[in-house]
Amino acid sequence: MEFSRMMETISGRGIDASTVAIAFISILLLFYIFRKIKSSRMPPGPFAWPIIGNLHQLGKLPYRSLQDLAQKYGPVMCLRLGYFPTLVVSSAEMAKEFLKTHDLAFASRPESAAGRYMAYNYTDMALVPYGPYWRHVRKVCMTELLSAKRLESFRSIREEEVYEAMRGIWEKSRQGRVAINMNTFAQSLISAIIWRILVGTKYSGDDVAGNDQGKEFSNMVEEVSSTVTAVNLGDYIPYIDWLDLQGIKKRMRKANGFFDRVVQKIIEEHDNVKSRQASNVKDIIDVLLELSGNDTLNIKAIIFDMFLGGIGTIGTALEWTMSEMVKNPRVAKKLQEEIESVVGKDRIVTESDLGSMEYLKCVVKESLRLYPPAPLLFPHESTQDCVVGGFFIPQKTRLMVNVWAIGRDPAVWDDPLTFKPERFIGKDIDIFGRDFNILPFGAGRRGCPGSLMAVGTMELVLAQLMHCFNWTVEGGPSNLDMTEAFGAALTRKEHLLALPSLKVTNCL
C-alpha cells in the first residue's frame, strides 16, 4: 500500500497523520538509543576515522602497534579496520574467553581475496567460513591426513631429507668459510619434506638440487605467503575492492594459476599410476584421491593449505631459533651437550632420540613464545551476537588475538624479553592450545591442525643442525641484528647468514 493511501486510511479511522509521524519518529529514536546502548557496551578503543577507521594505526609491525594500543585501551579493545569492527585481544585471560568459552561463536573466518582467489573460492580449510564444509574437511584432515599414525608413516622421509640437508651444508662448508642463508635453507628443506609427504616424489628446490621447476615453485610459495599475509585494502574497504589499488588480487590470480598447473599435473600423474596403491607408504594426494571418490573435497585447495600452512611457518620459526642459538652461545652449548649425551658423536640424530631431549623441547617452546610465526593468529569472525567479558559483541565482528604480545606479557612471564629456555624446565606448559599464556598454534576449533608435525620437524632439524655443526656470524654474536621485517607475519628483516663449522666428523 502506498504511504499516502495508508495515511488516508489511518486518518479515516480517526488517527491523525501527526500522531502516526510522532509514533514513527519515536520508534526510530528508540531503535537508535537501543543501538547506542548496545554499541556502548562494545570494548573501548581509539577514535575511528571515516572510511579507513583505524587501519593507519596498524603501522609497519601490526602486532607491536596493537600491543602499544592495548596498554591504553586494555586487553580487549575494539578498532574499526576499514569498514569492519575488529576486536583485538592481548591477554591470556581474554584469549581464553574468546577461544575457549566462546570458541563456537568466533569459529568463522571473514571474507578475503585470499579465500576467493588462492583458496579456490573458500574450498580449503584455513580460510573457509565456519559451516558443514569446514567441519568435514577438518575431520578428514585430523583423522586421515595429519593424524599421529599418518605422520609416523612419514618418519623416514623427514629423517632422510634432514640428513641430506646436513650433508649439503657440510659439503658447502668444506669449500671454505661459507655463510648459510638460514631462511633459504630452512624454507627449502621444509618444502622438500612437505613436497614428499604430499606428492610422494623428491622435490627439486633450488638449494636441494638446483632445478628450475623447483626454483619456480619456491618463488611461487614465497609469493603466495607474501600476498596472503599482506594487508589487502579491499578486504577492509569493500567498495574500493574492485580497484585492486595494491595489485594484490592480480598477484594472487597469477600465483594461483601457477600453483593450479603444478598441482593439476601432480594429480593426473597420481591418477595414472595405479601401481602406487601397492606402495606401503601412501602420500597425502593418494589418500585424498581415495577419499574424494564421490566426495566434494577440493583436493587442490587442501594441498594449498598444507603448503601455505607448513612451509613459511616452520621455516621462519627455525630461522628465529637459529638466530637465538647464535646470539646465545651459553644456550647453544647446553643444547649441544644434551644432544651429544643422548646421541654420542658417531651417529646422527633420529626421531626416536627426541623424546629424551628435554632442553631441546624447552628451546623450541621458548622460540615459539618470543617469535610466533603467526603473531595475530588468522582472523576470526563471530557468527552470532554474544556477551564476552561483560561486553556486547554483535554478529560478524572480527577478532585478532595478539599471541606475540601475550607471549611477552610481563604480568605472566618473568624477564619476558630474554631468551631463557630454562623457564620451561620441569613445568608442564602446553603450547598446543591448552595453556593460554603461549599460543603459537592458536586454540580451539580453528587451532592449527599441523602443530604436531610442525614441532616434530622443528625439533629434528634443530637437533641435527646443532649436533653436526657449531654456528656463528660474521662479527660475532653481539653483531647480530634481530630487527623484524615490515608486515603482519613475523619474519627477520635481514636473513640470518650463519657460518657453520663441522662439530662431529663421523656421521655425515
Pairwise CA distance, residues 244 & 255, whole Å: 16
Looking at 440, 473, 496, 504, which residue binds ligand HEM (CB under 6 A)?
440
Looking at 80, 196, 446, 492, which residue binds ligand HEM (CB under 6 A)?
446
Looking at 168, 214, 310, 421, which residue binds ligand HEM (CB under 6 A)?
310
Which string of x and - marks every residue 88-107 that binds ligand HEM (by CB under 6 A)? --------------------
Q: Is 7 exposed, middle or buried (0-12, 13-18, 19+ CB in 10 A)?
A: middle
Which string of x and - marks every residue 362-381 that binds ligand HEM (by CB under 6 A)? -----------xx--xx---
Which part of the chain contacts ligand HEM (CB under 6 A), choosing from 36-44, 213-221, 313-321, 417-425? 313-321
Question: Is the CB of 73 or the CB of 133 nearer to ligand HEM?
Answer: 133
List, as residue ranges, the binding site for heme: 448
> What residues contact residue 239 under an 8 Å CB cut-off, 6+ apart?
none
Pairwise CA distance, residues 122 & 75, whole Å: 31
Q: Is 436 in the site for ligand HEM (CB under 6 A)?
A: no
Report whether 381 contacts 397 (CB < 8 A).
Answer: yes
Q: Long-range contacts of range 443-447, CB-CB < 8 Å, 24 or more positions apart?
A: 443/95, 443/99, 443/100, 443/103, 444/99, 444/100, 444/103, 444/107, 445/103, 445/104, 445/107, 445/130, 445/138, 446/107, 446/109, 446/378, 446/380, 447/99
Looking at 53, 85, 168, 309, which residue binds ligand HEM (CB under 6 A)?
309
Q: Is 449 in the site for ligand HEM (CB under 6 A)?
A: yes
Looking at 94, 453, 480, 504, which residue binds ligand HEM (CB under 6 A)?
453
Which part of the chain contacts ligand HEM (CB under 6 A), choosing from 176-184, 207-215, 341-349, 434-442? 434-442
Minimum CB separation of residue 126 from ligand HEM in Å reads: 3
Report whether 433 contacts 454 (CB < 8 A).
Answer: no
Pairwise CA distance, residues 5 & 87, whole Å: 47
Instruction: Show the cell assigned to 383.
Output: 557468527
Q: Which residue is nearest to ligand HEM (CB)?
A: 450
Question: Is the CB of 138 or the CB of 423 nearer to ligand HEM?
Answer: 138
Say how many residues touch ligand HEM, by CB under 6 A: 24
Q: Where do the DSSP E strands lie in 42-172? A: 76-81, 84-89
Binding site for ligand HEM (CB under 6 A): 125-126, 138, 305-306, 309-310, 313-314, 317, 373-374, 377-378, 440-442, 446-450, 453-454
